[in-house]
Amino acid sequence: MDRLATEFVASAGALAHCPRWNRIEIAIVGRSNVGKSSLVNALTGQRGLARTSRTPGRTQAINFFTLGESLALVDLPGYGYAKMPQPVATRIAGALREFLAGRGNLQALILLTDARRGPQREELDLAASARERGLTLFAVATKCDKLKRSERPAALARMRALEAEPILCSVHTGEGIELLRRRVLSAGR
């Protein structure tokens, strides 16, 4: 991110295990198959920084990445589609709720939605929670490279339900990545 030193720092299974530091945290949240880890790699310009997989639900912990001296990106576990044992899904959902409600360092939320589907009830609820908590909200429609040009206006209209200026992004073409990067960096100032 603008040549900031970026590195993986820690994984935490619960709020109590998160790093104790003074960094401003910007969390990435979305469904299991929306491309959270791929977006971490695209934003930082470091392939392989965050582990990606074709199988949804591989991120099962809260992963922290430093950005320069004062920021951190937080890759949160996904929700929804992933096939996993119910006790694991329940633990992950609890850790996600606990982090979003109680993490003092959290200043912004990058809410990812598949551009082809738009926000569903979970995304609308997350956006409302972010607003209630006073977090900066970035509404990002991923996989926009899969949209036809004629489908883009409708995708943007769906994203406006999140009450944040939507950004169409693609980790494959790079569309929207630089814009999101600039907004993330400005949120940390």
Q: Is the pLDDT of residue 2 over 50?
A: no
Q: What is the per-residue pLDDT across 135-173, written as a single tens digit (0 to 9) for each?
A: 999 999 999 999 999 999 999 999 999 999 999 999 999
Say how far apart CA 43 and CA 167 lie, in whole Å.
Answer: 13
Which DSSP letter does residue 73 get? E
Residue pair 25/67 in contact (Cβ under 8 Å)? The answer is: no
Distance, first Cα to last Cα, the chain: 14
Residue 91 lies in a domain: yes
Determine, yes or no, domain membership for 90: yes
Residue 51 falls inside a structural domain: yes
For the chain, what is the domain count?
A: 1
The domain of 25 spans 6-187
Q: Is the pTM of this model over 0.85?
A: yes
Amino acid, single-letter form, for residue 93: A
**Quick check: is 167 in a domain?**
yes
Residue 1: inside a domain: no
Please indicate, yes or no, if residue 164 is contained in any of the structural domains: yes
Is residue 26 assigned to a domain? Answer: yes
Tell me if 33 is assigned to some domain. yes
- For the chain, what is the radius of gyration of the CA atoms? 15
- pLDDT tens string 33-92: 888 888 988 988 877 776 665 554 455 689 999 988 899 999 988 876 556 677 776 777
Give residues with Cβ within 8 angstroms of 53, minimum separation 6: 37
Look up the CATH number of the domain holding residue 128: 3.40.50.300
Percent of the chain with pLDDT over 70: 87
**Residue 25 scores a pLDDT above 80:** yes
Tokens of 168: 């169409």
pLDDT of residue 54: 53
